[in-house]
Structures are given as structure tokens and as C-alpha cells.
Structure 1
Amino acid sequence: MVGGKGGDGCISFLHLWSNENAGPDGGDGGNGGHVILRASNNVKDLSLLSSVLKADNGEKGYNKDCHGKSADHCIVDVPIGTVIKDSEEKVVGDLGDEGLMFIAARGGAGGKGNHFFISDTEQAPKISEYGAEGEDIPYTLEMRSMAHLGLIGFPNAGKSTLLRAISRARPKVAPYPFTTLKPYVGMVQYDDYEQVAVADLPGLIPDSHKNRGLGIQFLQHAERCMGLLYILDVSLDTPWEYLDTLQFEISQFNENLLNRPQLIIANKMDLPNAIENLEILKNRTKLPVIAISAKLGSNIKELLHTIRIIYDENKDNSGYYFFYLTVYIC
């Protein structure tokens, strides 16, 4: 991030028909603008943020003691909860509240014109100052976007397809494992204008707690969700074993995660064997189960209703659970 350069001071001498010694009248330069980060509810991610943020330069000074105009500050809105780290990975700012600001790069001061340097011993100074350069500081921004609920499942369970069905998020969907390599957030809109953030988390595999696959990175994402939505492909053989594996991996990472609200989403009900497996699954778990087909949109309305119930019952006691997306700013 680069602050604006200060405007240069002016060297000028006033000439009047009635006073040939009117004296120096060079004005000062204007100050350069700051680069300021501001937390805003209107911004959901860092995708629109440029990798280089630069404020405008101050205007130079003019004759007749006219000072240059100071540049406007470059104010950039970022999501609430954005963490700012310096080049040494030290946290220097945490924008946790609406409207909170962080001055990332200060603009340079404007240079003084020669009128400023008048003294008892020097009545006609022929010197001025250059405007100071603005600060040039690299930062790392980590977006602590709150995800109320996280979609957890094995690769190709249909997490991305479901997120597409219930929100405007457009994660990649493809018929091969690990199409999702980073979290995607979708905002579920309700008729009363309430918004529930649902995160499509990267797929989990056995021994993830030992850092296999995306491993610890995945589990850290799950740790920062208010509730867990297990999505299972019930068309596969023994889908209940997949559920046991998911819960085991999560408990090995942090056993307290299983105390959070949990819901099983039985996906791909349009495929053979799904109905028979669904009944067995319900008999093998005490968690609530909702059967859907994300591809065909079957029973999505009931799922959204259940998600809203979970959100309403836990939003006041959820605290802040975050997953991190990082952007490097020069």
C-alpha cells in the first residue's frame, strides 16, 4: 500500500507595479492522501481488492501564497473481521467492528514554499521543500469471514452442487475429487432479509487429523463454523461408515466440535439404492437427517427451513468462528 506523495513547495517572488520588493510568495504543497482500510457490512470478501492500493498525490504550491490542495484519502472498504499483518506476520490491525478504520500507509507532508522561510536575516529566500514521499508498506490481509454453517463431507459428496442450489455462490463442480481446494461462502437469503452464511469446505478424507489430503487446513475451517452440516452420498454402499469417519476425524482434531449443532444431509436421493440406505442411516444415528437431491433441487425448501432453525437457536451463543482467506497487498 502506497501513500500519496506530498506536493512540492513553490519558489516565487511577488511583482507589483507599486512595490518592486513585495517579497517571496511561494505557497506550500498539499499533503498526500492516506490509504485507509475501513470495515464495512457491505463487503463480503476480498475478491475485488487490488493487489496495489495507492492514494493520490498532493497538489504543488503556487505563487501569491496559494497552497496546493491536499489529496483525498484512499478509503477502501473491507469485510468486518479483516486481520492486517505486516511483512513479519505480526498482527497490526483487526477490524472487528463496523466503521473501524486502519491507516495502512500515510501520505507524505507537503513541502514548504519560499514564503515559509522568511526570517529576520533572510528576506528573500530562494529555497523551498520537496513534498515527502508517502509510506510504501506491504501487508497481508486475512479475511475472517464468519461462516455460520459449514458443509462437511467426502470429495464428490455434492457440497458444491448444494451450495449452488441454496445461494448465489458458484464454486467449481466437476466429476472428480478435490474440485474445491479453498472455502467458498454462500449467503442464503430469507424472506425476512436475514442472511445465513454457509461455507463449502474442502473435502475430508480418512486420517485428515494426521494432515492427509488438505488435513489440518480443512479441519481449521470446520473449527470456525457455528454448526456442522454433514453431507453424505447415500447412493454409495454403507454411507453411515462415511459419517463415522467424518465424526472421528473431527473429534481427533477437536472433540468439542461435536458439541456444536449438527445435521446430516442425505444427498443424491435420485440415484439407485439411496432410499434403502437412507432408512439404515436413520437407524444408525441420533442426528436429524434430511434427504435431498442437490442436483434436482428436491426437498431444498425443508433443508433451508431447518438451517434457519439452527441459525436462530444458536446465533446469540455462537461467538465468532472464522476461516481465513489471505490477500497480499503491496
Structure 2
Amino acid sequence: MIFQCRYLCHHNLLNKFLAQYSTSESFVYALRSTKPKSARVKVQNFVDVKFVKAFGGNGGDGAISFLRLWCNPNAGPDGGDGGNGGHVACLKVKDLSAVPTVIKGEDGKRGQPKNCYGRSAEHLIVKVPVGTVIHRLHNDITAKDIESKPLWYLGGSVVGDLSEDGEIFVGARGGAGGHGNAFFLKDSLKAPQIAELGAKGEEGNFALEIRCISHFGLIGFPNAGKSTLLRAITRARPKVAPYPFTTLKPHLGIVKYSDHEQLSVADLPGLLPGAHKDRGLGLSFLRHAERCIALLLVVDASYACPWEQAEQLLFELKQFDPHLPSRSCLLIANKMDLPNAKENLEEALKHLKIPVIPVSAKMGSNLSSVVNEIRRIYDKNVREEENEVE
């Protein structure tokens, strides 16, 4: 069965939903964790923007040295070149919490006598998540500016986008090693007393921003029940309270299936009308929806005219990015256990053109429909990507 309704619902309405989601495809089922959830709320801050100051390693200095042999005390210059400084590069990991604020590449070693070159430094690889966007900032911007102001206000430029697994971005190149005095030997200068200093490595201020944090994003106005829904379908434990803006940072949860597939769902902070103008830090929250393969719009079905909530959410998404509403969207009508919710939902179906699933996250009603539908959307997206590759 697709539905597991615990609340009273009109039979015609239920049959309409069953006809909408019944297919000949066999769904794999979501697994329920055998490990009990913790009784206390564990809030793990998700770091989605990180200020980083990067310094490439300096090149090693060239050596000034002259070779003296028993048979030829004036054998000539033999100072070796210095080694190259190490680059600072980015590679993928899970999140930004382990990324240091100041990153300094290793310096190259100094050149040695007998034409021995200095050792070049190893490149410093900084691991960042797939989907990280790298902004180059002005040198006078500090970490406090990142915390208090949105990135678009700071006037930086996007210089890297690590959207594919294995991509590398070089943020600060190491300096080249200096030449030793043996390099300057020529017919007119038999005993050069000069050598080059190693070049200074590049440096710069960067902001690392995660835009792809999950497969699906829960989007809605404050108090729509997004956190309760995430707690109901995953083992995540976001804070839940009967007042707006309980969620201030994105929270991630994982839905596990019987074929060992795992899908991530993000509970994004609540939006306000005018979020595309950064009202209520809306731009900081909307950017997380840019690369989700599908958007799960959560509305409170107990409010009058719930379809207006959905239309307002779609409007905010379109104003932020005209392409966002064109991707897969699923409307989740939450709080169906409250009075008037059934009547409001019946009226909403006359106005909405996107799929709707009624649930009660608090009572645990009809949640299997949600996890089955997001798996169907994910499988469809995977098939489309495979067809594009072929």
C-alpha cells in the first residue's frame, strides 16, 4: 500500500490520491532504523560558508656556492636552484567545519652546493564538499564581514565551482624557486656572485560556500512543520518548537532504502514573503535550493487558502532563479490532523497543478507516500542523466 492514513479522510479524496500515485513500477521501501533516537535534541551546526585566507608557499632561494676540487680550486659556481613553493588546492569532503581559516602552503627548500636543487614543497590539498562555490574577496574583507553580511553584498567574484567529484581548484600558487649562481655562469662572468631569491607565493581571501547540500530541500514558511517532517522520516533531530524561526541553520537527514540507496533531505530555514530581496536572510536560504534535484514545498493545510502559500513559495523561487520552479516540485500538505485541514486541501486541489501529498508529520500519517515519491523522483532524475550521457 502507498498510503497509511490514520486520520479520517473522505473516501473520494483518498481514492483520488491513490490514483495519482499508483503506478505499475515496484517501489523499494524505506528502511526504519532499529536504533532508537536520542531523547535529547542534538543540534550540530552546519557550516555552509567559510572565510579562508590562503597563502601559497614561497619558492626556495638559489644558492651561491663555488666548487673547489683538489685538482682545480677554481672549478666554478655550483649553487643549485631553490625548490618551488607548494600550491594551496581544494578537493572534496563532507562539510566545511574542518577547513582552517588560514591556510599556508609549504615553502620550497633552499638550493645547495654541488648543483643540488632544493626540494620542491608538497602541494597542500584542502578538502571541501562537492558543490562548493569559491568566491575571491577583496583583501580588506575579514571573517566578521562574512558572518554579518551576505556574499553578494561583499562584491566578490566566483572563481571556482567544484560541482563534480574529483575536481580541483588551485586557490594560491606557490612561488617559483630562485636560480643559484651556477645559472648565471657565462663566458663574460666566470665567477658570478649573485643568486635569485625565491618568488613569493600568491595569497588571497576566499569565501567557500556550499550550495549543494542535499538531494531534496524542504521549503516553506515558518511553522509549516518542516523540522517535524524531517524528524519523522529520518533520524535527524532538529529543534522543534511552537514559534517561528526555530530553524536558523540547515539540518540534514538521510532516508535509507532497502536497496541500500541513501537520499539526503535538507530542512531549510523558513522563508518570508520578499525572501528574494533578502528579507529575513532569504537569499542565504534560497541558494541551498539551487542544486537540489527536487523541491519539497511544505504548507500548513490547517490555514485558510493553503494554495496561496504554495503560490507564494513558487513566486519567491522564480524571482530568485527563473529555472527553479521548472524542476520537480512536490507539495506536502502538513498538519492534516488539525481541524479544517481536509476541507482546505480539497479546495487547494482545484487551484494547484503540482502533485500534492497530505500528511501529518506529528501523528506519523502517510509518511510512506512521501519517502516513496521522493525515491521515484530520484530514480527518474538518474535515468534522465544516463540518457543524456548516452
Q: Any gaps of 5 or more consecutive residues in structure 2? A: 1-53, 138-154, 350-354, 386-390
- SS of residue paired to 2:269: coil
Provide the residue aligned with 2:17 in structure 1.
none
Corresponding letter in the other structure for 1:112: H
Please tell me whether the aligned partners of residues 3 and 55 of structure 1 are also in contact (alpha carbons under 8 angstroms): yes
- The correspondence of residues 116-131 of structure 1 with structure 2, limited to 5 A, is 116-131=183-198
- The correspondence of residues 112-191 of structure 1 with structure 2, limited to 5 A, is 112-145=179-212, 147-167=214-234, 171-191=238-258
CA distance in 2, matches of 1:66, 1:209: 60
CA distance in 2, matches of 1:210, 1:34: 38
Provide the residue aligned with 2:343 in structure 1.
280
- SS of residue paired to 1:261: strand
Corresponding letter in the other structure for 2:105: A
Provide the residue aligned with 1:323 in structure 2.
none
Does residue 1:53 correspond to 2:103, yes or no? yes
Please tell me whether the aligned partners of residues 229 and 265 of structure 1 are also in contact (alpha carbons under 8 angstroms): no
CA distance in 2, matches of 1:27, 1:210: 59
- SS of residue paired to 2:211: strand
Does residue 1:266 correspond to 2:266, yes or no? no
- The correspondence of residues 247-262 of structure 1 with structure 2, limited to 5 A, is 247-253=310-316, 254=318, 257=325, 260-262=328-330
- The correspondence of residues 1-330 of structure 1 with structure 2, limited to 5 A, is 1-38=54-91, 40=92, 43-87=93-137, 88-145=155-212, 147-167=214-234, 171-205=238-272, 212-215=279-282, 218=285, 221-222=288-289, 225-232=292-299, 238-241=302-305, 243-253=306-316, 254=318, 257=325, 260-267=328-335, 274=337, 276-286=339-349, 287-294=355-362, 300-316=367-383
Q: Identical aligned pairs, as a percentage?
A: 52
Q: Any gaps of 5 or more consecutive residues in structure 1? A: 319-330
1:71 positional shift: 0.7
Corresponding letter in the other structure for 2:74: N
**Aligned residue-pair number:** 305
1:316 positional shift: 5.0
CA distance in 2, matches of 1:67, 1:307: 59
1:252 positional shift: 3.4
Provide the residue aligned with 1:324 in structure 2.
none
Deviations 1:276-307 (A, max 9, x none): 5453344334343242435x766544432232
1:69 positional shift: 0.7
1:239 positional shift: 3.2
- SS of residue paired to 1:66: coil
> Which shows bigger deviation, 299-308 or 8-17?
299-308
TM-score (structure 2 length as normaliser): 0.66
Corresponding letter in the other structure for 1:244: W
1:50 positional shift: 2.0
Please tell me whether the aligned partners of residues 211 and 288 of structure 2 are also in contact (alpha carbons under 8 angstroms): no
Corresponding letter in the other structure for 1:128: A
Deviations 1:230-267 (A, max 9, x none): 43556xxx3353x2332131243339838843231524
Deviations 1:138-168 (A, max 9, x none): 2233323164322123323332243344446
Residues 1:122 and 1:86: Cα distance change in structure 2 (over 3 Å): same
> Which shows bigger deviation, 210-219 or 153-162?
210-219
Residues 1:108 and 1:209: Cα distance change in structure 2 (over 3 Å): closer
CA distance in 2, matches of 1:303, 1:204: 22
RMSD: 3.2
1:221 positional shift: 4.9
- SS of residue paired to 1:19: coil
Corresponding letter in the other structure for 2:171: A
Residues 1:174 and 1:112: Cα distance change in structure 2 (over 3 Å): farther
1:28 positional shift: 1.2
- SS of residue paired to 2:375: helix
Residues 1:151 and 1:49: Cα distance change in structure 2 (over 3 Å): same
